[in-house]
Each structure stands twice: as structure tokens, then as C-alpha cells.
């Protein structure tokens, strides 16, 4: 069976068995916090278990590297919407050790793009129209520095509520242990 069919079959059973009753909650997060974290699949359930969270407790924005790539991109927009409209009173930027995106260099991604049919010309055209694809695909050398940098972007954002603490954590994907990079209380 192909993946989507399996998922749909699982879903049918889930709804039929009324398993959703275990997850019912409201739109506003009970713990009034938004966590920006990496899309790393090791962290999906681990984040909740390691921090003692359950469904409905947090707003979570996940992307490659837990990064805010642009002050007016979708991650920052999500933070602002959560703060002003969804009852979020604190933000946590949570990177993790052994991050696949952090370690990634643009060259292998570009090489893979070429191999799958994206022409050199497309890359050049983007570069010439002001989209620095190479820089955009650049990971980071230090997760601690990356978290600190992202905290700065949120705290210095002109549209951000200055009373909202923005903390920084780094999680170990093996043990779930977190290191505090910045405690903003
Ligand atoms: Zn990661």
C-alpha cells in the first residue's frame, strides 16, 4: 500500500474509534507559549515528552534548523499572530544538537537540485535578481549562536510586543535534555 493510502486508512480508523476525544482542546495554547523548533523527526514526540507537554499546550512553528530566515517571513509572522491573537505570552527558540540543516552546506543541495533537473541557468537568474540562493541555503556553524541570533531578530522586531520574554534552548535529540542558552525573565 502506498503511503497516502496507509495514512487515509489509519485516519478512518482514528475517527471511527473516536480516538480524537483524547486530543480535544481549544485554539489558544494552555501554556501560553510558542516554541520555534527544528523539523527534525527525532524531536516530534520527544519535545512534548521531554518538556512535559500535551496536545493543546503550545503553539509550535517548525522549520529546517529552527531559524527565522527573514524578519518578514512566515515564522516571524506566526510569532506575531500567536502573540497578538492567540494568547501567547512567551516565545522559546529551541535549536538542537546534531542538526542536519545546521551542518548542511549549499553546494551539496545545489548539486542535488542540478541532478534532479534544476538548471544552472535558473540558479543564475535567481542570483542576478537579488535572491542569494547560496546564502539562503546556508546552515549554521554553532547552534548556540544560531539560537541567539534568532532571539535577537524576534526581540528587536519593530512589531513585537517588548514585554514578551524570548528564551533560547538547545535540545539533545538523543536524551531530550535541554541546555538553556538564554533565560529571558
Ligand atoms: Zn535540525
4-48 pLDDT per residue, tens: 999 999 999 999 999 999 999 999 999 999 999 999 999 999 999
- Is 141 labeled as ligand-binding? no
- Judge whether 139 and 65 are in contact, CB under 8 Å: yes
Tell me the residue ranges of DSSP E strands in 20-149.
Answer: 33-38, 58-63, 90-96
Residue 103 has what pLDDT? 87
CA-to-CA dists, residue 5 to 9, 20, 147, angstroms: 6, 20, 38
Span from the CA of 22 to the centroid of ligand 1 (angstroms)? 29
- Is 70 labeled as ligand-binding? no
- The model's pLDDT over 100-113, given as tens digits with 9 standing for 90+, comes to 988 889 999 999 99
| Domain boundaries along the sequence of the chain | 31-104+139-182
- The model's pLDDT over 122-166, given as tens digits with 9 standing for 90+, comes to 999 999 999 999 999 999 999 999 999 999 999 999 999 999 999
Span from the CA of 141 to the centroid of ligand 1 (angstroms)? 12
Span from the CA of 124 to the centroid of ligand 1 (angstroms)? 28
Class of domain 31-104+139-182: alpha beta
- Is 40 labeled as ligand-binding? yes
Span from the CA of 137 to the centroid of ligand 1 (angstroms)? 14
Span from the CA of 112 to the centroid of ligand 1 (angstroms)? 19
- Is 157 labeled as ligand-binding? no
- Give the N- to C-terminal CA distance of the chain in Å, as an integer: 51
Residue 102 has what pLDDT? 87
- The model's pLDDT over 34-88, given as tens digits with 9 standing for 90+, comes to 999 999 999 999 999 999 999 999 999 999 999 998 999 999 999 999 999 999 9
Amino acid at each position: 500500500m502506498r503511503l497516502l493510502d496507509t495514512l487515509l486508512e489509519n485516519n478512518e480508523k482514528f475517527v471511527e474509534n473516536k480516538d480524537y476525544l483524547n486530543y480535544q482542546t481549544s485554539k489558544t495554547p494552555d501554556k501560553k507559549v510558542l516554541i520555534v523548533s527544528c523539523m527534525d523527526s527525532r524531536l516530534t514526540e520527544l519535545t512534548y515528552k521531554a518538556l512535559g507537554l500535551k496536545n493543546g499546550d503550545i503553539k509550535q512553528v517548525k522549520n529546517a534548523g529552527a531559524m527565522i530566515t527573514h524578519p518578514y517571513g512566515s515564522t516571524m509572522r506566526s510569532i506575531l499572530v500567536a502573540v497578538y491573537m492567540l494568547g501567547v505570552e512567551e516565545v522559546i527558540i529551541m535549536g538542537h544538537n546534531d542538526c542536519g540543516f545546521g551542518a548542511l552546506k549549499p553546494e551539496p543541495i545545489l548539486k542535488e537540485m542540478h541532478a534532479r533537473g534544476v538548471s544552472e541557468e535558473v540558479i543564475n537568474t535567481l542570483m542576478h535578481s537579488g535572491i542569494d540562493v547560496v546564502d539562503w541555503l546556508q546552515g549554521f556553524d554553532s547552534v548556540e549562536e544560531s539560537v541567539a541570533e534568532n532571539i535577537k531578530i524576534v526581540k528587536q522586531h519593530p512589531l513585537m510586543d517588548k514585554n514578551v520574554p524570548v528564551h533560547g534552548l538547545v535540545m539533545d535529540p538523543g536524551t531530550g535534555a535541554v541546555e538553556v542558552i538564554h533565560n529571558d525573565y
